[in-house]
Amino acid sequence: MKTVTRKLKDKITIYLSHRPGFYALIVGVGIVWFWRGVWHTTDLLHSYFEFFQSNSTTIGSISSVWWDGLLSLISGIIILYFTGAFTSSFIGNELILSGLRGEKRLNQKQEKEVRNEERIVLEIKDEIQNLSEKINGLDLEIQKKNFK
């Protein structure tokens, strides 16, 4: 039996999936609000700790309301969660799908691909070197025939 939040999330995702432009707008706003919240909350925490370390008697350096960044962060998380974009925005679809398929981690897969490409490039380099030597040998033969 699905929970209430899961049902709501599914309904929202289905509704938005039929309206891709609106879906992109909502997810874009969610991402911006999420990162704005992270940024402002971090700035507020920095100002807070700086205030207490400086032994100052005024809070003039803390310029924003304490809940501003936190509200943006929570709003962004809610939007991204209920649109189904939270995990795909931050983890990535390929990582999720490879986990569901039981494949190896994506970075391991990429390492193998890089090694394979490196091997192919080295083979191509060797082949080019062989061709270059053959071309130089043919050039020498042509020059010898032209001088005779």
Q: Are residues 16 and 64 in the same domain?
A: yes
Q: Exposed e or buried b for every residue in 4-27, given b needs 16+ CB within 10 A?
A: eeeeebeebeeebeeeeeebeebb
> Is 99 within a domain?
no
Q: Are residues 56 and 3 in the same domain?
A: yes
Total number of domains in the chain? 2
Structural domain for 139, as ranges: 104-148
Task: Report d(CA 108, CA 57) in Å as an integer.
Answer: 54
> Is 28 within a domain?
yes
- pTM as predicted: 0.51
- pLDDT tens-digit series, residues 74-113: 999 999 888 888 776 565 555 555 555 555 554 556 777 7
